[in-house]
Amino acid sequence: MEEKTKKSKKFLYLAYRWINPLIDPLKLLKGFKNYIWFIIDWIKYSRKEGAEAIRIIDSYPCLHEKTTTTSFDPHYFYQDIWAFERIYKSGVPHHVDVGSAIDFVGFLTIITKVTFIDIRPLEATLKNFESKKGDILTLPFEDNSVKSLSCLHVAEHIGLGRYGDSLDPQGTQKAAKELSRVLGRGGESLFFAS
């Protein structure tokens, strides 16, 4: 019975991987066309000398990546560069981030000690990195104690229940107030919300 359950889960995951590229209605027609090219490429690859065998159960079709340029979200891309540069130029020995993108937080560990606060802690082992479980509405810091603080595109999600937080129509305002509470006099806060 356990073996049957494992096989069923593996099949469902395979089905998800093959169907997922077609879920976006704007990419549906292109997705079908790209499946044809995916299968043709698979066959061509399989016939090449030295090609390892690829089982269908191990396949993961990526159908929308043959583009002429690398796609990116300019808003987040430039925001993180801006914030990183500000923190780098400040020379702070310790920075606190509340819930921002983990790539951004990871890069910061190269230039300063980072404490990352999130309702879902990041379980990563990095030099200069500490992750603490915390709620943006009750941050684990004394009043006016944080000299360098960032919270990039987090506050607007607070109170929506999306990450396991409580539903609260005033969540964004309460988050901003809590960030202000912990920011030290003369400290710098990098904050974005949309």
- Whether residues 112 and 46 share a domain: the answer is no
Q: Please tell me the distance from the alpha carbon of residue 38 to that of residue 63, in angstroms, as a whole number.
A: 7
Examine the domain organization and report whether 179 and 152 are in the same domain.
Answer: yes
The arithmetic mean of pLDDT across residues 77-89, rounded, is: 97
At 29, is the pLDDT very low, low, confident or very high (cuts 50, 70, 90)? Answer: low
Q: Taking 90 as the threshold, does the pLDDT of residue 81 lie above it?
A: yes
* Total domains in the fold of the chain: 2
Give the number of C-alpha atoms closer than 13 A to the C-alpha of residue 79, restricted to the C-beta side.
19
- Render pLDDT for 119-158 as a digit per residue (tens, 0 to 9): 999 999 999 999 999 999 999 999 999 999 999 999 999 9
On whether both 104 and 138 belong to a single domain, the answer is: yes
45, 88: one domain: no
Q: What is the mean pLDDT of residues 47-54?
A: 89
Q: Residue 131 is part of which domain span?
A: 74-192
Q: Are residues 78 and 54 in the same domain?
A: no
The pTM of the whole model exceeds 0.75: no
Give the E-state strand segments of the chain in sequence order: 94-98, 113-118, 129-133, 146-152, 183-192
- Give the least confident one: 7-16, 18-27, 88-97, 160-169: 18-27
Q: Kindly tell me the sign of the dihedral angle through the C-alpha atoms of 86, 121, 74, 60.
A: positive
Mean pLDDT score across all residues of the chain: 89
Same domain, 26 and 102: no
Residues 43 and 84 in one domain: no
Q: Is 26 helix (H, G, I), strand (E, B) or coil?
A: helix
Same domain? 47 vs 121: no
